[in-house]
Amino acid sequence: ERIARACARRKMIVDFHGCYLPCGLHRTYPNIINYEGVLGNEVNKWDKKVTPEHKVTLPFTRMLGGPMDFTPGGMRNAVGDNFVVRNTLPFTNGTRCMEMALYVVYQEPLVMLSDAATEYAKEPELFRFITHIPSSWDESKVLEARMSDYLIVARKKGNEWYIGGINDETMEREFTVPLSFLDAGKQYVAHLYTDGVNTDKIGTDYRYTTREVSSSSSLSLKMNRGGGCIVRIVPR
């Protein structure tokens, strides 16, 4: 609290990384914008605990306490037995689309890019998506959810919507998501990033497509085992 108070006097924001779980202090000191207090991506360097199931569980448990500095953005992605623990150039457990979806699913006002800049330079399309992710949201909707199994959320900022979905490792899942939350009478373009057909062997495999949508449209979102999906919907 002394740190938060001292920073507030100096008009500084605070990210308590490597700390305990949130206890409501950010309600008294709104300059506290993030806490760690979570089993995040760094654990992949020495353990296999950060599984897809773990990632799907966090929004129902840890995230209830407040913002969560999970450190997403790892660009070496593997599923199942292809995931190995290593300290140098570590993997994340799950597909590329699952990892990118965490930027939408998790509440994380100060977002981290947990990999090297050169890795993002290799994927300009995905990096462009990350650069558009807002640091706060105007509106959020839960579209599909089952604790520890799957979660799909939609979040709005200004006149744009983002959809993020994450899935555990037990089975692939497909959902039909109505876009009735869009403004009626307006046309939009949806940018979709979905799991590729080879993610069981190559976790980085993904597919990028676009389509025109409106409030009467629906999206079919398929997530492979340990997979995910991300969508950015912008006015046409």
Domains and CATH numbers, the chain: 1-37 (no CATH), 41-236 (3.20.20.70)
Place of tokens 């993002």: 120
Q: What are phi and psi of 30, to 5 degrees?
A: -65, -5
The rounded distance, in Å, linking the Cα atoms of 88 and 107 is 28
pTM of the model: 0.95
Q: What pLDDT, on the 0 to 100 scale, is given for residue 19?
A: 86
Q: What pLDDT, on the 0 to 100 scale, is given for residue 112?
A: 87
Which range (18-22, 64-68, 112-116, 152-156) has the least confidence? 18-22
C-beta of residue 166 within 8 angstroms of C-beta of residue 98: yes
Per-residue pLDDT band at 179 (split at 50, 70, 90): very high
C-beta of residue 145 within 8 angstroms of C-beta of residue 204: no
Q: Residue 173: beta bridge partners?
A: 223
The rounded distance, in Å, linking the Cα atoms of 67 and 62 is 9
The rounded distance, in Å, linking the Cα atoms of 183 and 193 is 23
Per-residue pLDDT band at 72 (split at 50, 70, 90): very high
- Cα–Cα distances (Å) from 217 to 21, 125, 177, 189, 202, in that order, read 40, 25, 9, 11, 31
The rounded distance, in Å, linking the Cα atoms of 169 and 152 is 15
Instruction: Kindly state the percentage of the chain with pLDDT values over 70.
Output: 100
Q: What pLDDT, on the 0 to 100 scale, is given for residue 97?
A: 98
Q: What pLDDT, on the 0 to 100 scale, is given for residue 32?
A: 95
Q: What pLDDT, on the 0 to 100 scale, is given for residue 18?
A: 87
What confidence tens digit (pLDDT) does each residue in 4-61 have?
Answer: 999 999 999 999 998 878 889 999 999 999 999 999 999 999 999 999 999 999 999 9
Q: Strand 188-195's sheet: what is its strand order?
A: 139-146, 150-157, 160-167, 228-235, 188-195, 206-213
Q: Taking residues 154-179, report their average pLDDT.
A: 98
Q: Is the pLDDT of residue 176 over 90?
A: yes
Per-residue pLDDT band at 111 (split at 50, 70, 90): confident
Mean pLDDT for all residues in the chain: 96
Q: Is the pLDDT of residue 62 over 90?
A: yes
Q: Is the pLDDT of residue 68 over 90?
A: yes
